Amino acid sequence: MSLTPHHLQLNQQGQLRHFLTIEGLSRELLTELLDTADSFLEVGERAVKKVPLLRGKTVCNVFFENSTRTRTTFELAAKRLSADVLNLNISTSSTSKGETLFDTLQNLEAMAADMFVVRHGDSGAAHFIAERVCPDVAIINAGDGNHAHPTQAMLDMLTIRRHRGDFENLSVAIVGDILHSRVARSNMLALKTLGCPDIRVIAPRTLLPEGIDQYGVRVFNDLRVGLRDVDVVIMLRLQKERMQSGLLPSESEFYKLYGLTRATLALAKPDALVMHPGPINRGVEIESDVADGPQSVILKQVTYGIAVRMAVMSMAMTGQTTQRQLTQEAN
């Protein structure tokens, strides 16, 4: 029987070994990750933006899906930790989870990399690799299907914490294409784990997944009702590449009903944060005046994302080193 992702993620001492999903991770570990990321923010302000924590290590970015923003921030994070970085963009045309993915894994292992950052269109692909990879290699999930995007969730959590402090008195709204969003799933789990008492999901019924109630959220189909008095608004793009026909009447109709404009943002608290994982579709889910306005922290999210990915890499490598020592002692 295969292990669940959260068991795979930790070594015998409870340290991070892989980073596959928020699910199953403790509040203490997520807080440690945020604290570590906070300490790395200072590195980006130095004249020489490097620390030697991963010197001599090789990080391999393995992207079966295109994502310039995520790949480049992972690459920059690894380089700031002094790691060597190899980028592989692998076409999905002949790749499927199973034998082909396993063959790819074996070829990657032959390169003697210490860490694989994996992005894949199939849900569970990073977990599949983590179950089968040799024990001294760390796997970081950079997004798998509709399932999880844990580093995006943690950079969103760092953004919220730095601008709003404690999670325990916040109302956070996640708006848009929830059905196809791995970011939404990871954010809901992270917010709940960190103690946020009011997590709101706002979307048309056709863009809500089954079982949304299991996340402990309040569901709204009316944007104007759902945004009232929230502290944070996280907008999501319409993932048209994953949609089947009939889910939406039109983009213009979606914008009319669910687009974040100055008028709809005014329903939230006066100092509410505006966030978006990117890329932004202006005039589809968000108005340019809002995306570029004083309440927007969208560019801050990118900056914080580098620090979060540095934290994940350094913590996972520490966990892998400890796991290797434990394995050697056992043998």
- Tell me the C-alpha distance between 304 and 260, whole Å: 23
Q: Which 8-state DSSP code applies to residue 97?
A: T
**Was 119 annotated as part of a binding site?**
yes
- Tell me the C-alpha distance between 59 and 230, whole Å: 39
Residue 199: how many other CB atoms lie within 10 Å: 21
278 closest CA partner among 292, 294, 298: 298
Strands 138-144 and 84-89, bridge-based pairing: unpaired
Q: Which of 119, 127, 161, 276 is catalytic?
A: 119
306 closest CA partner among 67, 72, 54: 72
71 closest CA partner among 17, 79, 21: 79
**Was 152 annotated as part of a binding site?**
yes
Q: Which of 17, 57, 120, 149 is catalytic?
A: 149
Q: Which residues contact 266 (CB under 8 A, 6 or more apart)?
A: none
| 324 is an active site residue | no
Q: Which of 97, 120, 127, 276 is catalytic?
A: 97
| 149 is an active site residue | yes
**Was 278 annotated as part of a binding site?**
yes
Reading the block at residue 141, the tokens are 């999930």
**Was 49 annotated as part of a binding site?**
no
Q: Which of 17, 18, 21, 70 is catalytic?
A: 70
Q: Which 8-state DSSP code applies to residue 282?
A: B
Q: Dmax of the chain from CA atoms?
A: 65
- Residue 124 region, left (φ>0) first, then alpha (ψ -120 to 50), else beta? left
**Was 18 annotated as part of a binding site?**
no
- Tell me the C-alpha distance between 303 and 309, whole Å: 10
**Was 319 annotated as part of a binding site?**
no
Q: DSSP H helical segments within 196-295, as ranges?
A: 223-226, 251-258, 262-265, 288-291
**Was 98 annotated as part of a binding site?**
no
Token pair 């604290």: residue: 35
CA angle 153, 68, 112 (to 5 degrees): 85
- Tell me the C-alpha distance between 92 and 214, whole Å: 32
**Was 70 annotated as part of a binding site?**
yes
**Was 182 annotated as part of a binding site?**
yes
Q: Which of 27, 69, 228, 256 is catalytic?
A: 69
User: How buried is residue 280: exposed, middle or buried, by Cβ count under 10 Å (0-12/13-18/19+)?
Assistant: middle
| 119 is an active site residue | yes
Annotated binding site for L-aspartate: 97, 182, 237
Q: Which residues line the annotated binding site for carbamoyl phosphate?
A: 69-70, 119, 149, 152, 278-279
Query: What positions carry a catalytic annotation?
Result: 69-70, 97, 119, 149
